[in-house]
């Protein structure tokens, strides 16, 4: 039962390492989440439990894996951006994709009950992932802008759609017909005139999605210590600095965000 | 906030579809499972709970995804073989890999308590995956033989190693030293002479790993029906045929297995 | 001027080796050969000089490079089939493509005058190439059949088209209009009734294209030798066996060709 | 003989388009040019005829193909840099590689006699090519610096080596032994003290290689015209601006070159 005569099959594996000096984005999407959200009675158009669980999973991914500079999520998708300079697993695309989605998927089930309480998880959900490379910082910013613009467009639509269904009693098909061909201004107008809703006052998390970045946190802790020359313990305050994954719900399309957090795109230890 | 000016970033996605008319294998491995198994007190050298949970997850993968003809697992790894003819997701490699590992990972947490009972799951585990293509049936059989030969070699080693540690009281380093340079025959001899163990009587699941195949099952059910001309319900037996994922613990290196289950490699609706 | 600080740029090269155990086909096409053929006054619909030059170049490619089992050419294209088992240049796709097209292109200019005599070559022509993998013998045979069927369809069309232009005096647009929507039978009928041409009697090279295969050739040579015990030289006949690239103009869609030359697909020293 | 039943073989072609917004470099090398240069009696260490022919071929490639911003050549190699923004042939790697090497190879034979006069070309030479992507301008400049540093190192070595062989009568093996372990300073010293050669006075083309760039040329031509109100033709001078491929033999490692020709890296019509 020698392994050696079969070892040749390893030669069929291909090298899938990513081009150096490019941002590596892994985007994950829920599989059949339309059905999943109905079966688990997600609140429409936005379910806070589901959004917070997604973000918890994304935080776990950022903490467990290496070299993720920023993540952005909305609805049932999350994008993870690995640093240009990352050498994690020799930049092998399959490693990046499978570690992200498997860690996310196991976390989703693991943390489910912390967010959904009595709502039982009926079956283990699936996620798919893809990988895309972006050579320049501008390309990367445009990618993230594309996802945030998508969030805005979908959320505005869904907000009006579900108002029409939930409050005006339209059927989904009627609501769809009503909205066909409307522009953003029209949708804002319907929300305001018919439901007295100013879209701009809707929660930022719904309108902007969630950005996850690393931040240095100063923690002040009280510690009991005994100095050598003293006989009694004494309480002192100790400040400890840690990095933590922090969620933000802000605009990332304009320049302000990137000027405020220049370290995200900084290539301190990059090739160049 | 028009999406269109950012849409160009989609052009950076590459087509990763797999060469047609090849077997597509996705192999999944536990991430840091050495540490994971210690923290969750896996029995050494084989933990039935862990092996059965792996198989439960693999069955879920086969049932939830499409076109998987056969799977093979051992230790903390599982290989899934998609049919040559599969057109699932246009044969895109990223879809195959991420669907397999995410479904497996979420199932691992979901079904954990069914197998580990009181042993709490401490954190969500990760898995990695890779994809390999095999053009011919012989290549595929050799791939599976390679994994089963690997199972045999590792299990024989581990069986002796843990006997030396658990029963003879050697430290891991001493056990390792004792086994350095030994051949299969030597290890069998140690097991027999020192521990009265005939390796060939060890459970098949440990020695051969687990093969998952589809089988037609005839289920006989009792059903109550009322015929039009009668007034009372009547019990009848109904036979229903379903396909089911069945675990086997048998040799797949020799020809016998493939002769017994020719449908696994059959290309009924393939290109050719 | 140390090279070392720049050497990192080598890491940007990617591994493009072809999947093992597949046929590797490189197909080459003339670049802008419509214009090229007009400027060099190619005879329409077929120019023997041009076709023979193409074949001479393809023979050179087969002799200079390694592991080409068979080649097929028609019009301004040629396909080269490398053996499944080839390990030439570690099966790197770029090596296969560039060696084929550069050897072909330099040969085209080098041998031009042998075929075109007084017709001067006006400028150096370009060629493009692509690479495709075929896992099974049937896939490969179907690829070659595809090219030969293409040859037939184009040649039948061109034969009628140029008869209508050259003999009936139609303009190209008129000839095109006349042929729009016609089937093979219609075209055969036009050739026969209007030009007294039986298409099946047209030269095989035009209708079937050119197949290049390796054949063992027995060469009988006269050699002068002097045996040790004799004083005079003596003429003897010596038979030497060499392999040579031989052009055929035959059907390769049916089984007969493959039965006659089984060694082309034979995998004598293949993986399996 | 329907083509359709074979058309499925087209699905086996893969999309090999290059990542957008990256510089695309195709580097070409002579195949077996050691042998080729001996058989065609190239002057050692540098043959002006051969170097000029290489440059003529590279100019032809730049003029015939599209979007090449700069090329750099030395010895029997040439690198061609396609613009980041190029959309030529949908950025398909195979198209870039095969067009470059085939155009180069056919030009090599076509222009041979213009440079080698009575020295007959004995057989058609081969070239290989590879493709590499560089995401940033700095990466690209480092690539070109790598090649020019390589030119310097090789040319210094070859200059001393051939002096030792040609003037001091050493055998190649003796010359090699003499140079083993020597640094650049040692080689300069040998050249100066033994052969009275100041390496820095050696021709720039040998020491720096050849850079090809596009330049606007103002051509002043004399033209005969007849103005409407006049009866006689009159000679006038007309200035016409054309772009031309111009060879330079200068340093491209330092900043000066890039500051002098900023348009080479300019992304006027790029994505961003």
If one counts every other C-beta atom within 10 angstroms of the C-beta of residue C61, the result is: 26
Using a CB-CB cut-off of 8 Å, the residues of chain D touching A22 are 19, 135
> Closest residue of C to D111, CA-based?
C124
A145 close contact with B: CB closer than 8 A: yes
**C253: confidence class by pLDDT, cuts 50, 70, 90:** very high
Dist CA D132 CA D142 (whole Å): 13
What percentage of chain B reaches a pLDDT higher than 70? 97
Average pLDDT, stretch A162-184? 96
> Closest residue of B to C135, CA-based?
B135
Dist CA C165 CA C157 (whole Å): 12
User: Which residue segments constitute the domains of chain C, with CATH numbers given?
Assistant: 17-210 (3.30.70.3000)
Dist CA D104 CA C105 (whole Å): 9
Dist CA D105 CA C127 (whole Å): 10
Dist CA B61 CA B80 (whole Å): 9
pLDDT at D53 over 70: yes
Which range is least confidently modeled, A2-16, A69-83, B121-135, B202-216?
A2-16
C29 close contact with D: CB closer than 8 A: no
Q: At what angle do helices A184-195 and A137-166 cross, to 10 degrees?
A: 40
Pairwise pLDDT comparison (D178 vs D223), residue with the higher score: D178
Q: Which residue among B97, B125, B253 places its CB closest to the CB of A98? A: B97
- What is the b/e burial string over C47-60, where b = at least 16 CB atoms within 10 angstroms of the residue's CB? bebbbbbbbbbbbb
Interface of A with B in 48-67 (CB under 8 A): 60, 64
Report the candidate in A116, A139, A11 with the shortest Cα–Cα distance to residue A57.
A116
Q: What 3 state SS string does A230-260 have?
A: CCCCEEEEEEEEEEEEEEECCCCCCCHHHHH
pLDDT, residue C230, reads 78
Q: How far is CA D253 from the centre of its chain?
A: 16
In this structure, what DSSP letter does residue C92 have? B
Dist CA C219 CA C237 (whole Å): 10
If one counts every other C-beta atom within 10 angstroms of the C-beta of residue A229, the result is: 5
Q: What angle do CA C26, C31, C33 make, to 5 degrees?
A: 120
**D269: confidence class by pLDDT, cuts 50, 70, 90:** very low
The pLDDT tens digits of the residues spanning D214-227 come to: 998 888 888 888 87
The pLDDT tens digits of the residues spanning D102-159 come to: 999 999 999 999 999 999 999 999 999 999 999 999 999 999 999 999 999 999 999 9
Does C101 contact D105 at a Cβ distance shorter than 8 Å? Answer: yes
**D170: confidence class by pLDDT, cuts 50, 70, 90:** very high
Dist CA B96 CA D244 (whole Å): 50
Dist CA B233 CA A59 (whole Å): 58
What percentage of chain A reaches a pLDDT higher than 70? 97
Q: CA D270 → CA A139, D22, D119, distances in Å?
A: 12, 10, 46
pLDDT at A225 over 70: yes
Biggest CA–CA distance in chain D, Å, is 81
The pLDDT tens digits of the residues spanning C59-78 come to: 999 999 999 999 999 999 99
**D272: confidence class by pLDDT, cuts 50, 70, 90:** very low
Does A153 contact B3 at a Cβ distance shorter than 8 Å? Answer: yes
CB C80 within 8 A of CB C103: no
pLDDT, residue C268, reads 60
* ipTM beyond cut 0.85: yes
> Closest residue of D to B8, CA-based?
D271
Which position has the token pair 């409307």? A182
Average pLDDT, stretch B74-94? 97
Using a CB-CB cut-off of 8 Å, the residues of chain B touching C136 are 21, 135-136, 272
Average pLDDT, stretch D171-191? 96
By CB neighbour count within 10 A (0-12 exposed, 13-18 middle, 19+ buried), where does D71 fall? buried
CB A131 within 8 A of CB B94: yes
Task: Kindly write down the DSSP assignment for every residue of chain A, as one continuous string.
Answer: --SGGGGGGGGG----BPPTTSEEEEEEEETTHHHHHHHTT--SS--HHHHHHHHHHHHHHHHHSS-EEEEEEETTEEEEEE-TT--GGGGBHHHHHHHHHHHHHHHHHHHHHHHHTTS---S---EEEEEEEE-SHHHHHHHHHHHHHHHHHHHHHHHHHHHHHHTS---HHHHHHHHTT--HHHHHHHHHHHH---GGGS-HHHHH-EEEEEEEEEEEEEEEE--TT-SS-EEEEEEEEEEEEEEE----SSSHHHHH-GGGT--TTS--
Which residue(s) pair with C224 in the sheet?
A: C235
Q: Which residue among A11, A15, A17 places its CB closest to the CB of C20? A: A11
Q: How many CA atoms lie within 13 A of C27 on its CB side?
A: 17
pLDDT at A39 over 80: yes
By CB neighbour count within 10 A (0-12 exposed, 13-18 middle, 19+ buried), where does D63 fall? middle
Tokens (6 digits) for A107: 């976390």
Give binding residues of C for GTP as ranges: 29-34, 75-76
C121 close contact with D: CB closer than 8 A: yes
* Helix/strand/coil for B30: strand
Using a CB-CB cut-off of 8 Å, the residues of chain A touching B155 are none
Using a CB-CB cut-off of 8 Å, the residues of chain B touching D15 are 14-15
Is the alpha carbon torsion for D86, D89, D90, D94 positive or negative?
A: negative
Which residue(s) pair with C211 in the sheet?
A: C72, C248
Dist CA A87 CA B171 (whole Å): 36
pLDDT, residue A270, reads 39
Peptide bond into C45 cis (omega under 30): yes
Does A21 contact D135 at a Cβ distance shorter than 8 Å? Answer: yes
Average pLDDT for chain C? 94
pLDDT at B4 over 90: no
* C neighbours by CB contacts (3+ pairs under 8 Å): A, B, D
Peptide bond into D45 cis (omega under 30): yes
Q: At what angle do helices D184-195 and D137-166 cross, to 10 degrees?
A: 40
Q: Kindly report the nearest CA distance between residue B90 and chain A, in angstroms.
A: 14
Q: How many CA atoms lie within 13 A of C109 on its CB side?
A: 29
Q: Kindly report the nearest CA distance between residue A71 and chain C, in angstroms.
A: 26
* B neighbours by CB contacts (3+ pairs under 8 Å): A, C, D
Does A20 contact C12 at a Cβ distance shorter than 8 Å? Answer: yes
Q: Kindly report the nearest CA distance between residue C89 and chain D, in angstroms.
A: 11
**B107: confidence class by pLDDT, cuts 50, 70, 90:** very high
Using a CB-CB cut-off of 8 Å, the residues of chain C touching A17 are 14
pLDDT, residue B162, reads 97
pLDDT, residue B231, reads 79
Tokens (6 digits) for B259: 């002769």
Q: How many CA atoms lie within 13 A of C185 on its CB side?
A: 0
Question: Is A161 annotated in some ligand binding site?
Answer: no
Average pLDDT, stretch B89-102? 98
Using a CB-CB cut-off of 8 Å, the residues of chain C touching B272 are 136, 138-139
- What is the b/e burial string over B124-162, where b = at least 16 CB atoms within 10 angstroms of the residue's CB? bbbbbbbbbbbbbbebbbbbbbbbbbbbbeebbbebbbb
Q: Kindly report the nearest CA distance between residue A19 and chain B, in angstroms.
A: 13
Q: What 3 state SS string does B240-261 have?
A: EEEEEEEEECCCCCCCHHHHHC
- What is the b/e burial string over A107-119, where b = at least 16 CB atoms within 10 angstroms of the residue's CB? bbbbbbeebbeee
Does C102 contact D149 at a Cβ distance shorter than 8 Å? Answer: no
Q: How many CA atoms lie within 13 A of D182 on its CB side?
A: 20
Which range is least confidently modeled, A256-270, B203-217, D24-38?
A256-270
Is the alpha carbon torsion for A218, A222, A223, A227 positive or negative?
A: positive
**B229: confidence class by pLDDT, cuts 50, 70, 90:** confident
Using a CB-CB cut-off of 8 Å, the residues of chain B touching C139 are 21, 271-272
D17 close contact with B: CB closer than 8 A: yes
pLDDT, residue B268, reads 60
Report the candidate in B196, B224, B191 with the shortest Cα–Cα distance to residue B207.
B191
Does D15 contact B15 at a Cβ distance shorter than 8 Å? Answer: yes
Q: Kindly report the nearest CA distance between residue B91 and chain C, in angstroms.
A: 16
- In total, chain D counts a number of residues equal to 272
Using a CB-CB cut-off of 8 Å, the residues of chain C touching B133 are 19
What percentage of chain A reaches a pLDDT higher than 90? 86
**D1: confidence class by pLDDT, cuts 50, 70, 90:** low
> Closest residue of D to B7, CA-based?
D271
Does B13 contact A132 at a Cβ distance shorter than 8 Å? Answer: yes
Tokens (6 digits) for D142: 């480092």
> Closest residue of D to A139, CA-based?
D272
pLDDT at D2 over 70: no
Dist CA A265 CA A140 (whole Å): 9
The pLDDT tens digits of the residues spanning C138-186 come to: 999 999 999 999 999 999 999 999 999 999 999 999 999 999 999 999 9
pLDDT, residue B269, reads 40
Dist CA D57 CA D242 (whole Å): 20
Average pLDDT for chain B? 94
pLDDT at C136 over 90: yes
Q: Kindly report the nearest CA distance between residue A224 and chain C, in angstroms.
A: 52
Does B135 contact C138 at a Cβ distance shorter than 8 Å? Answer: no
pLDDT, residue C2, reads 67
């Amino acid at each position: 039962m020698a392994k050696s005569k079969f070892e040749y099959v390893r030669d069929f594996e291909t090298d899938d390492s990513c081009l150096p000096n490019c941002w590596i984005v892994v985007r994950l999407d829920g599989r059949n989440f339309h059905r999943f959200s109905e079966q688990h009675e997600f609140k429409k158009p936005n379910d806070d439990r589901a959004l917070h669980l997604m973000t918890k999973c994304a935080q776990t991914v950022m903490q467990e894996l290496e070299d993720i500079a920023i993540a952005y999520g909305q609805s049932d998708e999350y994008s993870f951006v690995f640093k240009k300079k990352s050498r994690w697993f020799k930049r092998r695309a399959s490693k990046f994709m499978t570690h992200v989605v498997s860690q996310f998927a196991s976390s989703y089930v693991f943390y489910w009950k912390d967010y959904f309480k009595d709502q039982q998880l009926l079956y283990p959900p699936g996620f798919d992932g893809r990988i895309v490379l972006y050579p320049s910082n501008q390309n990367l910013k445009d990618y993230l802008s594309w996802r945030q613009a998508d969030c805005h467009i979908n959320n505005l639509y869904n907000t009006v759609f579900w108002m029409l269904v939930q409050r005006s009693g339209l059927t989904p098909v009627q609501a769809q017909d009503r909205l066909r061909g409307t522009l953003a201004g029209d949708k804002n107008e319907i929300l305001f005139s018919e439901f007295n809703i100013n879209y701009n006052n809707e929660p930022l998390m719904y309108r902007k999605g969630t950005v996850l970045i690393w931040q240095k946190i100063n923690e002040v802790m009280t510690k009991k210590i005994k100095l050598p020359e003293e006989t009694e313990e004494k309480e002192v305050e100790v400040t400890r600095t840690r990095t933590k994954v922090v969620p933000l719900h802000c605009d990332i399309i304009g320049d302000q965000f990137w000027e405020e957090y220049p370290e995200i795109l900084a290539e301190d230890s990059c090739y160049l």
